[in-house]
Amino acid sequence: MRASRILGELVSENRRTLALAAPIVAGFVGQMLMGIADTVMVGHVGVVPLAACGFANTVLAVPLVFGFGILSAVSVAAAHALGSGKLRRAGEALRGGLAIGGAMGLLMAVGAHFVLPHLGLLGQPEAVNREAGGYFILCAWSFIPVFATGAAKNFCEALARPWAPFWIMIAGVGLNVFLNWVFIYGNLGATAMGLEGAGLATLLSRVAVMFGVLAYPVLSMGLRQALPVEWFGPGLVAECRKLLGIGIHTGGLNLSEITGFSFGSLMMGWLGIIPLAAHQIALTCAATTFMVPLGLAQAASVRVGHALGAGRRERLPFITGGVIGLTMAVMAIFAAGYFVLGGAVAAAFTTDLEVRELTVRLLVLAGFFQVFDGIQIVSSGALRGFRDTAVPFGIGVLSYWVAALPVCWFLAFEAGMGAPGIWVGFVFGLFVAAVAMGWRLAAKVSAAVRA
């Protein structure tokens, strides 16, 4: 095939991927903006509340990201259903996802009450443990609406209707900022609740978003025909089992990554409040730009599922190759932004000079791992479209727990690098993941085209 034709095919497929990915990315960024709003607004209350916010979010991120991985199966099943022209199968995926999400959210919320008295075992400063309690519980109860929203959002995106959930998410961000202003600082006659007020604002905002996103498929003529005839009828248990079979390894992959990063965050707490606060700011920034490749990964998963469901395997090299190249370019731009604007970013979060100085150093390292992080997440997303989740799970465990964390520990504590050493370990682990995921994806695409 001539080079000009290959380039044309890549550009064409990237346009389709971007058309799907743009609102998905924006929706993910909207979710992150809630966390950023909490971090920025709590940061102006004090360093200890900021560190406590980071600590609570670090612990809660573990079950939250695992749950999102499980619910990614809704996208896979619905995309294959659309590609093969069986819309009712997509609706079955939605009702199964809602059942799984509701059960997971309730279990995790109740479990948070049992975990709370034992947070001190994680070795954080006592002041941080005391401050985190109320925020921790309120955010844990918001898992129920978050997972319900995630299932419905994945369903809409897989059926190429991503814009309405995006706008609902943006409205939720605005509501969260307003409620933060009310409850954190005590405006409009409310009691100033500090960090706990941020937790209450997050819970109320997520409930509002859940109702909006769930209402959309019911009100949309294009999606209503895909909804199940009976929400609690026969086949629900079987559908849940099917989705869990797809999603459990993706949840495990997400879990291996987030627990690796969370353990690194605990190491930061062992170094003190200043490193933990700086780490929270840098990680919040990196996680926000990570929403771009995460959205591209979701779009890649859906587009691979559509192609396989429709029997269009010859499109797979252009879909996957195009999105990998696009991801590398976008993440390189973000990396350059961290190098140039790190000081301004740190100043937006806190006035503490020590925290700002360390944040700038960590943002430089965050810039380095942006490209590797993008490649590995987009590759794993495309592999999910193939329903290939077991091997990526194994790659995740090896990359984050076998490769990254020992390097984090050695450089931070034995080599005396402190907080930057932990981030160098992150860079190494993400490099390993990017190489392994990319190789696996190339092998799957090659095999599918030859089949």
> Each residue of 397-415: b (16+ CB within 10 Å) or e?
bbbbbebbbebbbebbeee
- Encode the chain (451 residues) as per-residue pLDDT tens digits: 567 777 778 888 888 888 888 887 877 777 667 777 777 788 778 888 888 887 888 788 888 888 988 998 898 888 888 877 788 888 899 999 999 999 999 999 999 999 999 888 877 788 888 888 899 999 999 999 999 999 999 999 888 888 898 899 889 989 999 999 999 999 999 999 989 999 999 999 999 999 999 999 999 887 888 888 788 878 899 999 999 988 898 888 888 888 888 788 888 888 888 898 888 888 878 877 888 888 899 889 889 988 888 888 888 999 999 999 999 999 999 999 998 988 898 888 888 889 999 999 999 998 888 889 999 999 999 999 898 988 999 999 999 999 999 999 999 999 999 999 999 999 999 999 999 999 999 999 999 988 7
**How far is C-alpha 213 from the geometric centre of its chain's CA atoms?**
18
Q: DSSP assignment of 314-374, as one string?
A: GGHHHHHHHHHHHHHHHHHHHHHHHHHHHHHHHHHH---HHHHHHHHHHHHHHHHHHHHHH
Residue at 172: amino acid letter? G
Q: DSSP assignment of 78-113, as one string?
A: HHHHHHTT-HHHHHHHHHHHHHHHHHHHHHHHHHHH
Q: DSSP assignment of 248-292, as one string?
A: HHHHHHHHHHHHHHHHHHHHHHHH-HHHHHHHHHHHHHHHHHTHH
Distance (Å) of CA 346 to CA 261, 264, 285: 20, 20, 10
Let me know: does 159 contact 16? Beta carbons within 8 Å.
no
Comparing C-alpha atoms, which of 438, 412, 436 is closest to residue 426?
412
Residues 6+ apart with CB under 8 A from 184: 41, 42, 45, 192, 193, 194, 195, 197, 198, 201
pLDDT of residue 235: 84
Residue count of the chain: 451
pLDDT of residue 2: 67
**How far is C-alpha 84 from the geometric centre of its chain's CA atoms?**
28
- What global pTM score does this model have? 0.81
Domain residue limits, the chain: 3-450
**Rounded to an integer, what distance in angstroms lies between the CA atom of residue 437 and that of residue 393?**
10
**Rounded to an integer, what distance in angstroms lies between the CA atom of residue 445 and that of residue 91?**
28
Residue 230's Cβ-count burial label (10 Å; 0-12, 13-18, 19+) is: exposed
**Rounded to an integer, what distance in angstroms lies between the CA atom of residue 250 and that of residue 256?**
10
Q: DSSP assignment of 187-252, as one string?
A: -TT----THHHHHHHHHHHHHHHHHHHHHHHHH-HHHHTTS-S-SSSTTHHHHHHHHHHHHHHHHH
